Structure 1
């Protein structure tokens, strides 16, 4: 390796490590609490109202900080804001482990999800900035890591809590967020040429506005990746760009697709064990295992989906598989809730995990520049998390009103059906800039 190439690869490897550790921290912070709630209750009371607020905090914080993140990123830069986000996650996780009452638990959780809300927005643009020539591979690493960090905490949280206490079980995940700060600090202190970002990919590059600049792994063509267009000084403000995004149907299709995926996740984290216990008569340990099985399906999805989208443009087939599989699993749970078949229904319902990496990779490839990817990521995730914040509460209300789980399960299935057209629109191989220019002229 030449001397000139060494800094470039050092920067890229640090970016890989930073993205991986950041991705791991996003879901582990969510999935590590619910398994040990009963153990926390032995030390101090955790009222149902507080649990309800905690269940709604993740998507609510994600929606709020999704709106704030582009403004902060514009002032601070994407790497500095990533350091701040990971630091907030670290502080919140440690603080939650030292909570002495339900209010402390709630405040620690709020700090965690403020950081997670920012990091959620920043990760797709970070991938686009440092790996525009390897989006498929890096989105695979990113989404697979998130899937891994979703099903591992429910499996280990209780055994660790039994051995070392619930405080250690919850706080130990802060180590990953703290470690994730280090690569970004190193890159800020020792920036690579060009401000620390990866150089533009050489293969297929062009300086013409809107011309493809990258290829997928092994040289296979990927979906459109575009160079920045126009001088930075004349770029529209964030407010104007947000207003433009709100007028593009593709953006709303992406938001609904992402929102449906997030709704399935947070409804499942909040209610799936209770549904399984009440409808199938399984014990709490079995219900926790089945929740982990449901989450585990996201692991192969995270491995396969980004590559299948970027290299083979399989967006619509993947969306169909995820939606139809999830509907089949819910129908099976509704009609045949017998213990012997629960593994099958959870596996089929788990196919909805395809939608999450699918939505994330679409955010990266449906914009031309990293700057627009930040705005698109913010808009899509903020709007999507509003839907995800409403439904865990709505499912609880429907359960209380009907005294059973039939209506709540039907409501979850209805979300999948109603947002199906949005998935088909999101599968169109165009960028949001293309859509704007087709309707309104130059971006």
Structure 2
């Protein structure tokens, strides 16, 4: 029982760190620009780096799971995140700042993938509850750095503002070190490692073999694609419709803030359902309704359209829950987590870029929203396969 409590604390603290290095930067870009040359291209790169890093390092993290325990990997990931976040504030030029930013994001990208199998390992009987808690902490860890970044930078400088969040990554490793130092934990880890080594040659889990796994990847990827497209372009859409910059910013905050209650409610509700596809249908209806309102009447009842569109990304916590609900083993959860998040975040990179290109090419927002509607159709198709009560390991075919 004590080990599970420590593991829960560790999971929740790690979850709180997974977006801090991302959202702490945009509010203080102008301050950073006083010391390092930052042009529009650099700002664009800073916007794309998180999803690119999460995709690349998330995709390769499951390969490292074969070499050592999840706990040791997570400690290593947090250490990499600390080094990257601290080193970038001492970077003498912009290229090194970007390189160390990627290093910090590498650790966080690995953390994204490691949390679902850790939840499955320590809390197989509480998947819905623990998923709800840790996804909620991701939302908290996304909002707080953005909120505190400017006040801290004003008081102590942008370097301190950015580097200070590495302290949370340091705190996050403590519970896992405590677990690894315990004799029972060492014995259990040794036994599990031996069993994994013996079982690994028998079957290699490939998400490509699973329609469920591919469906979940599309569901996760299209959710992220739509979310990041709105993060990037919603303020401009609304300001062009006549809203002030302050009002447009408030609407973006409303869109993002809905992730907090959704993270709490959806995993708890969906975990009790044999097939949570009706939840996805409801969320897709909200997505479509909100988009139609923003496209056709952005200046009227704006808050309603933003709320509806903001409810749609509830498919994000549901996707993370399904990683554990649709796998039988920690190995399967790790493989599905790495693949779905790796490929999914790669898809997410397309959203803001293509939406903007379509707007520039046509001079209106209609074509961009048509693209988003198509992606929602793909999301629904993926969810159809992901939500069925079928396990990844059962769709591997003949291992010979």
TM-score by length of 1: 0.82
Partner Cα distance (1:403, 1:63) in 2? 31
Match of 1:14 in 2: 6
State which drifts further: 45-54 or 114-123: 45-54
Matches within 5 A, 1:163-178: 163-178=155-170
> Partner of 1:434 in structure 2?
394
Is 1:156–2:148 an aligned residue pair? yes
Summarize the alignment of residues 95-106 of structure 1 with structure 2, pairs less than 5 Å apart: 95-106=87-98
Q: Report the alpha carbon displacement of residue 232 of structure 1 after superposing the two structures with TM.
A: 5.6
| Equivalence for 2:198 | 233
* 1:305 shift after superposition: 1.4
| Structure 2 residue 243 is the aligned partner of structure 1 residue 281 | yes
Give yes or no for contact 1:57–1:389 (8 Å, CA) kept in 2. no
SS of the equivalent of 1:75 reads: coil
Distance 1:194 1:174, change over 3 A: closer
Tell whether the 8 Å contact from 2:62 to 2:334 is kept in structure 1 after alignment: yes
SS at match of 2:301: helix
Residue 212 of structure 2 aligns with which residue?
250
Question: 1:111 aligns to what?
Answer: 103
Q: Which residue of 2 aligns with 1:216?
A: none
Q: Match of 1:402? A: 362
How far apart, CA to CA, are the structure 1 residues paired with 2:47 and 2:127? 32
CA distance in 1, matches of 2:390, 2:282: 22
Higher relative contact order (Cα pairs below 8 Å, separated by 6+ residues):
2
Separation in structure 2 between the aligned mates of residue 58 and residue 75 of structure 1, nearest angstrom = 26
| 1:56–1:392 contact (8 Å) kept in structure 2 | no
- State the distance in 2 between where 1:406 and 1:118 align: 37
Structure 1 pair 27–135 and aligned structure 2 pair: CA distance change class (3 A): same
CA shift digits 1:130-178 (9 cap, x unpaired): 1112111111111111122223333332333334333333222222111
- Residue 304 (structure 2) pairs with residue 304 (structure 1): no
Partner of 1:51: 43
SS at match of 2:328: coil
Quote how far apart the aligned CAs of 1:275 are: 3.2
In structure 2, the CA distance between the partners of 1:92 and 1:235, relative to structure 1 (3 Å rule), is closer
- Report how many aligned residue pairs link the two structures: 397
Structure 2 partner of 1:423: 383
Give 2:228's aligned residue.
266
* Alpha-carbon distance in 2 for matches of 1:191, 1:363: 30
Alpha-carbon contact 1:150-1:295 (below 8 Å) kept: no
- Quote the Cα distance in structure 2 between the aligned partners of 1:434 and 1:232: 20
TM-score normalised by L of structure 2: 0.91
Distance 1:169 1:142 in 2: 24
Unmatched segments (≥5 aa) in structure 1: 1-8, 201-229
Whether the 8 Å CA contact 1:56–1:393 is kept in 2: the answer is: no
Tell me the alpha carbon deviations over residues 386-435 of structure 1, each in whole angstroms, 9 at most, x when there is no partner.
Answer: 21122222223223323443332332232112321211221111211233
2:326 counterpart of 1:361: no
**Aligned 8 A contact 2:275 2:388 in 1:** no
Q: Is the 8 A contact 1:318 1:354 kept in 2?
A: no
Question: Higher helix proportion, which one?
Answer: 2
Work out which of the residue numbers 39, 46, 63 in structure 1 matches 2:55.
63
CA distance in 2, matches of 1:76, 1:27: 25
1:295 aligns with 2:274: no
- Please state if 1:341 is matched with 2:301: yes
Q: Deviations over 1:313-342 (max 9, x none)?
A: 46212211222112211111111121x633
CA contact (8 A) 1:151 1:293 kept: no
Q: 1:196-223 CA distances to partner (integer Å, 9 max, x unpaired)? A: 56x99xxxxxxxxxxxxxxxxxxxxxxx
**Distance of aligned partners of 1:168 and 1:396 in 2 relative to their CA distance in 1, 3 Å threshold:** farther
Which runs of structure 2 are paired with 1:115-134 in the superposition (5 Å)? 115-134=107-126
Looking at structure 2, the residues matched to 354 and 119 of structure 1 have their Cα atoms a distance apart, in angstroms, of 21
Secondary structure, in 3 states, of the residue corresponding to 1:246? Answer: helix
Write the mapping of 1:364-403 to structure 2, written as runs, cut at 5 A.
364-403=324-363
- In structure 2, what is the Cα distance between the partners aligned to 1:368 and 1:127? 13
**Structure 2: segments with no counterpart, 5+ residues:** none
| Residue 98 of structure 1: how far off its partner (Å) | 3.6
RMSD, aligned CA: 2.5
